[in-house]
Structure 1
Amino acid sequence: MMSRALVLQTDFGLSDGAVNAMYGVAFSVDATLSIFNLTHDIPPFNIWEASYRLFQTVSYWPEETVFVSVVDPGVGSDRKSVVAKTMAGQYIVTPDNGTLSHVERNVGIQEVREIDENVNRLPKSGASHTFHGRDVYAYTAARLASGKISFEEVGPLQPVDSIVTLCCNDAVVKDGEITGIIDILDIQFGNLWSNISRELFETQGISYGEMVEVEIKHGKRKVYLNQMAYGRSFADTRIGQPLVYVNSLDNMAIAINQGSFAKAYNIGTGSNWTIKIRKYNP
């Protein structure tokens, strides 16, 4: 059997040997594995962002690709270690702490198995309880990706509805106003990516070049309220001006042309960051 691709995501960074140790464990299982990085720059302990980055990426990889996601503030606790199989046939090896939330909602999960650490754990690592990314997840994922174990041999089947999921309200329209959340940042450029779909936005009859009013709140505190144009691309507005556009996942996003909207207004992400968009009527 040809080895499947193995894709790693962590909040470890690359300034020490943690990620390299995971590579070493994987190659010790099968030296022919092809290993790729999703990212190792998830903000420390930020399960929400880990969840989103998986959703952003998983569907573009072939069936049977094996992902490892380790953002694990509960390491050493009684949280479960699982492997989830998506509706598209990829596998995700991760702590069951909410990391599967966006994939479960947007892609779908077929089956979940709890990792049996009596079988699927790096030999001679039993005394270590703080580096499951190396000892459990990289080892199990490499065995799965290389065909040394089947999905059924990961461990016992778990109900899909038993996995931990983070609170995330769907975007809605009411009285001509669309309400959603700031799901994630386009980090390199500081753009805000919402969970408002293009289809939902288009129900309001807003055309390219028209003005909309955008309101952003953090909890009950209003952080931003202003008008901006709906643009096809950044070329549709002047440098330094804000705009609403459709991002690469077909959702609505907010940006400043050649600037960082997130830095300009100190915007964060998650279910307590709400965004409202309505057609502007002066």
Structure 2
Amino acid sequence: MFRSIVVALALGLSCGGAAARSPLVLFTDFGTADGAVAAMKGVAYSISQDLLIADLSHEDPGGIFAGGFRLYQAEQFWPKGSVFVAVVDPGVGTGRLAIALETLSGRFFLAPNNGLLTLVAQREGVKELREIDESVNRRPGSEQSHTFHGRDIFAYAGARLASGAQSFEQIGRKLPPEALIALPYRAAERKGDLVNGVIPVLDAHFGNVWTNIPQSMFEELKVALGDDLRVRIHHGDRLVVDLVAPYQRTFGDVQPGTPLVYVDSLFDMAVALNLANFAERYGVGFGPDWTIDFSRAP
């Protein structure tokens, strides 16, 4: 009886396609008001109904730069072997390459080669880079579709990789690591008595201002909890914010509507208003041309 059950299970797996090996995580700027994301999931499930599919986000992150940070924010918490399909792709249908990246941390990323993987590659390291071979990694019958590569190429190829239907080496020809397009991204730095960085994104729901200044660099200022800091934010050469705020552990340590400097969930420095929207009140945006610095208040 036991042997019969094992044989039946083996036959069931062979008939139903490859069993899922890795989570498949979808990240797009498509939104969920229409059927685009559902179509991607349908294509993936057509490869294997055993897939574990999760959503990172499908809201507009604000461009490729911000999209790269959203991916950077979340991917590190997923297990080794996870497959990320990342589609923020204003150049869809043009000559830009569709690529697959394996990082030194053992995760996989399928995306347009437009800079979206800049931060992931910098932090995790590039183990191998490949061009997605569309002759085998394109949804059958979609050859005349030029504006929905998220469904027809990336979701299809990602599902084949996550399910074990193909290996990473089978995705396509190997590319040199320098073929990966990288966006300009200025790292945080200490300049004497202040630390300076950029505002890569905003905390979308609450309007908190996130920075790329790590807590370890900030602590070089020898600031203690409760100390006042001067916070200055520039958009290009224009000074947008110049205020004093205390360094605190969390939002409730200051009065409602009051600013504070704190360490965010990525262990970088951030600025917020308790129970209010800092970015909205002060007209702060995000991107490589938005900079911020912290120094001790006089």
TM range (shorter): over 0.9
1:259 aligns with 2:270: no
**How much does 1:188 deviate?**
1.1
Q: Structure 2 CA distance, aligned partners of 1:35 and 1:245?
A: 34
**How much does 1:244 deviate?**
0.4
Aligned length: 280
**How much does 1:173 deviate?**
1.0
1:232 aligns with 2:249: yes
Q: Structure 2 CA distance, aligned partners of 1:42 and 1:108?
A: 26
Q: Which of residues 21, 36, 45 in structure 1 aligns to 2:54? A: 36
- Normalised by the size of structure 1, how large is the TM-score? 0.97
1:178 aligns with 2:195: yes
Partner of 2:108: 91
CA distances 1:151-177 after superposition (whole Å, capped 9, x unpaired): 000001111222111111111111211
| Residue pair 2:26, 2:57 contacting (<8 A) in 1 also | yes
Q: State the percentage of identical aligned residues.
A: 45
| Residue pair 1:42, 1:49 contacting (<8 A) in 2 also | no
CA distances 1:103-149 after superposition (whole Å, capped 9, x unpaired): 11222221111101011111111011111000000000000000000
Q: Which of residues 54, 72, 89 in structure 1 aligns to 2:71? A: 54
Aligned residue for 1:185, secondary structure, equals coil
CA distances 1:4-41 after superposition (whole Å, capped 9, x unpaired): 11110101001111111101100111111111100000
Higher mean alpha-carbon deviation, 262-271 vs 60-69, is at 262-271
Structure 1 unaligned blocks of 5 or more: none
CA RMSD after TM alignment: 1.0
Structure with more helix by fraction: 2
Q: Structure 2 CA distance, aligned partners of 1:101 and 1:90?
A: 15
Q: How does 1:146-157 map to 2 (within 5 A)?
A: 146-157=163-174
Aligned residue for 1:238, secondary structure, equals coil
Q: Structure 2 CA distance, aligned partners of 1:193 and 1:278?
A: 17
Structure 2 unaligned blocks of 5 or more: 1-18
| Residue pair 1:171, 1:178 contacting (<8 A) in 2 also | yes
Q: Structure 2 CA distance, aligned partners of 1:166 and 1:240?
A: 36
- Normalised by the size of structure 2, how large is the TM-score? 0.92
Q: How does 1:107-118 map to 2 (within 5 A)?
A: 107-118=124-135
**How much does 1:48 deviate?**
1.2
| Residue pair 1:6, 1:67 contacting (<8 A) in 2 also | yes
